[in-house]
């Protein structure tokens, strides 16, 4: 037996591999395919939710054949923090991913002010050691996992997460009848697609005919932005139809769970970056194989932290109970007994280079929000958002005052410390009921829940400045990103039909490390990395073993060895 650099079998069992091994063992013989149709910056302004401003025939069909969720919420009203929750099943305030683009400064903000990030360090989120990006667990259970193609997780993901991640990644590239989890991400509804220089989609509604939310002034720029947003939604619906048609053409639609959702609310001001339903409530439609529960609606409250655990459950994999998220789909679906039961929580922190700090909780009908920086206006000065011409019209309300009572938020130069809305009676959330006597008991209960969430997650948004966050919480004690320890390789030569093969075991001292490997004949290799779940055998003609260890938030380490020596 040859060991490099001296494996300990105790490390093998303590090295963060058991969750993957257990997950693979738990997978059923028949595993459904799962497809995520993820769109950007879109509230439920579509036919299945009663908004018929533009036709959405493909989403209407998906809803007829599936289940429409009425109370689905993002964990943050902006993409990167929200996506960190989707991929990990953890609240971004727990894992240090609550500040928008913690590792990629906004070019628009820097163009306006080259000093915008002078006091803001670059860093990655750091989940607890037991957390994995959930597609890694699917791959360990035999799934082919693809992402086309946005990630934006606030950290560099391990090589073990995706079989393919590129604009060309597709479930059609799998081996034979291998079950698949495929993410398709549509950018055509993104905030930027309403910018003046963005391509205009075919007009399904004109600016004159677009519905006007009551908090917006009636100006040409506002109407144009709304019309472009709706027309982008209509174009997106065609994209949904194309993805469904691909599954039908391959006779796979009735063996696939299709999940459609948006990464947060509408990409217009007072939607995106705002802790209102317009920023946090998202469409969610799930179509099951055989159209199970077709045409039904589900009113339970679900959050982005629940999505990853639910996909694992659909695949027959029991999610780690320590995750913030709870599966609401599949055989392991359950309810919680703590502050999370029936409630969705959200944060708003730094957006590009400009700070905000809000915490919010909703039970699906009532929303309680705490503004921790009440001296700020509702629309903080964000350079990227200001590329929308309508933003200037909204800023003008601070000078002229509101044209109607519903515009009081956009006209205010400060915010109340607390807000409370009945989003059923007041769907645009413009009537703050925080002082209403008949709601005081309910407000007190939501305050208590919000406090419990902040305490339970050790909310890292309160650790400021971010230089302190990095030194004390992310990369202590000096704020320098550590490297993941290299893999320890244990090899044993065996004879197979007169030829030499090698049984290989891998381990890493860091229990948070994912371990990926690939085999080749030479040092220069390409192709997908395999997820290490336990000892494997390598044929003698593929003797070069390349291994990568990667704890999320730390630097990955790549090592290699010729099995049996040079």
Task: Cis check for the bond before 477: say yes or no (omega within 30 of 0).
Answer: yes
Q: Characterize the bridge pairing of strands 164-165 and 256-262.
A: unpaired
CB 325 within 8 A of CB 71: no
CB 181 within 8 A of CB 86: no
- Judge whether 508 counts as a catalytic residue: no
**Distance of alpha carbon 282 from alpha carbon 261, whole angstroms:** 7
3-state SS class at 406:
helix
Q: DSSP string of 155-223?
A: SPPPTTS-SEESTT--GGGSSTT--EEEEEEE-TTSGGGGSTTSPPPP-SS-GGGS---TTS---HHHH
402 burial level (CB within 10 Å; 0-12, 13-18, 19+): middle
**Distance of alpha carbon 303 from alpha carbon 261, whole angstroms:** 11
Which H helix or E strand runs over 19?
Answer: helix 18-26
Count Cα atoms within 13 angstroms, Cβ side, for 542: 13
Count Cα atoms within 13 angstroms, Cβ side, for 76: 29
Q: DSSP string of 105-137?
A: --HHHHHH-TTTTTT---------TT---HHHH
441 burial level (CB within 10 Å; 0-12, 13-18, 19+): exposed
Task: Cis check for the bond before 98: say yes or no (omega within 30 of 0).
Answer: no
Catalytic annotation, pick one of 79, 92, 275, 358: 79
**Torsion angle (degrees, nearest 10) of CA 194, 93, 137, 129:** 150
340 burial level (CB within 10 Å; 0-12, 13-18, 19+): buried
Strand partners, 302: 72
**Distance of alpha carbon 506 from alpha carbon 339, whole angstroms:** 40
Sequence-ordered list of residues with C-beta below 8 angstroms from that of 108, at least 6 positions apart, any chain: 352, 383, 384, 387
CB 98 within 8 A of CB 144: no
- Tokens 């003609």, located at residue: 541
453: how many CB neighbours lie within 10 A of its CB?
Answer: 23
Task: For residue 107, give the nearest of 354, 386, 355, 352 by alpha carbon.
Answer: 352
Known catalytic residues are 79
């Amino acid at each position: 037996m040859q060991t490099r650099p001296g494996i300990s079998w105790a490390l093998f069992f303590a090295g963060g591999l058991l969750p993957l091994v257990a997950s693979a063992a738990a997978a059923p013989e028949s595993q459904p395919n799962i497809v995520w149709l993820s769109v950007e910056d879109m509230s439920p302004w579509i036919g299945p939710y009663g908004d018929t401003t533009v036709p959405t025939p493909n989403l209407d069909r998906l809803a007829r054949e599936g289940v429409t969720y009425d109370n689905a919420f993002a964990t943050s009203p902006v993409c990167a923090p929200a996506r960190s929750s989707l991929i990990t099943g953890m609240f971004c305030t727990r894992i240090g991913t609550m500040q928008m683009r913690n590792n990629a400064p906004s070019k628009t903000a820097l163009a306006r002010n080259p000093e915008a990030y002078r006091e803001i360090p670059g860093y990655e989120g750091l989940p607890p050691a037991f957390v994995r990006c959930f597609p890694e667990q699917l791959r360990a259970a035999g799934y082919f996992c693809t992402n086309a193609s946005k990630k934006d997780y606030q950290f560099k993901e391990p090589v073990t997460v995706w079989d393919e991640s590129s604009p060309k990644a597709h479930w059609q590239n799998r081996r034979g009848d291998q079950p698949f989890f495929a993410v398709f991400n549509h950018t055509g509804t993104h905030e930027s697609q309403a910018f003046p220089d963005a391509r205009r989609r075919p007009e399904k509604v004109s600016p004159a005919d677009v519905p006007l939310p009551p908090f917006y002034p009636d100006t040409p720029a506002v109407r144009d932005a709304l019309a472009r947003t709706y027309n982008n939604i209509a174009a997106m619906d065609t994209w949904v139809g194309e993805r469904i048609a691909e599954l039908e053409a391959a006779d796979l639609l009735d063996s696939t769970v299709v999940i459609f959702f948006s990464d947060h609310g509408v990409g217009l001001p007072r939607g995106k970056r705002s802790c209102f339903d317009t920023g946090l409530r998202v469409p969610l439609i799930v179509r099951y194989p055989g159209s199970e529960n077709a045409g039904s609606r589900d009113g339970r409250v679900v959050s982005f932290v629940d999505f990853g655990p639910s996909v694992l459950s659909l695949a027959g994999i029991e999610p780690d109970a320590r995750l913030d998220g709870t599966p609401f789909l599949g055989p392991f679906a359950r309810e919680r007994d703590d502050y999370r039961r029936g409630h969705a929580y959200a944060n708003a922190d730094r957006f590009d280079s400009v700070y905000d700090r809000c915490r919010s909780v909703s039970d699906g009908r009532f929303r309680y929000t705490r503004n921790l920086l009440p001296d700020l206006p509702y629309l903080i000065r964000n350079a990227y958002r200001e590329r929308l011409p309508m933003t200037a019209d909204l800023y003008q309300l601070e000078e002229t005052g509101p044209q109607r009572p519903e515009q009081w938020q956009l006209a205010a130069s400060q915010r109340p410390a607390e807000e409370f809305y009945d989003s059923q009676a007041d769907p645009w959330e413009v009537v703050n009921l925080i002082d209403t006597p008949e709601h005081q008991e309910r407000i007190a209960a939501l305050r208590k829940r919000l406090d419990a969430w902040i305490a339970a997650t050790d909310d890292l948004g309160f650790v400021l400045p971010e230089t302190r966050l990095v030194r004390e919480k992310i990369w202590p004690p000096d704020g320098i990103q550590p490297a993941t320890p290299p893999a320890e390789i244990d090899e044993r030569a065996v004879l197979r039909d007169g030829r030499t093969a090698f049984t290989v075991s891998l381990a890493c001292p860091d229990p948070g490390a994912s371990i990926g490997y690939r085999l080749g004949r030479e040092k220069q290799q390409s192709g997908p990395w395999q997820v290490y779940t336990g000892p494997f055998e390598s044929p003698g003609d593929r003797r070069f073993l390349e291994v990568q260890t990667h704890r999320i938030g730390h630097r990955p380490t790549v090592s290699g060895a010729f099995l049996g020596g040079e």
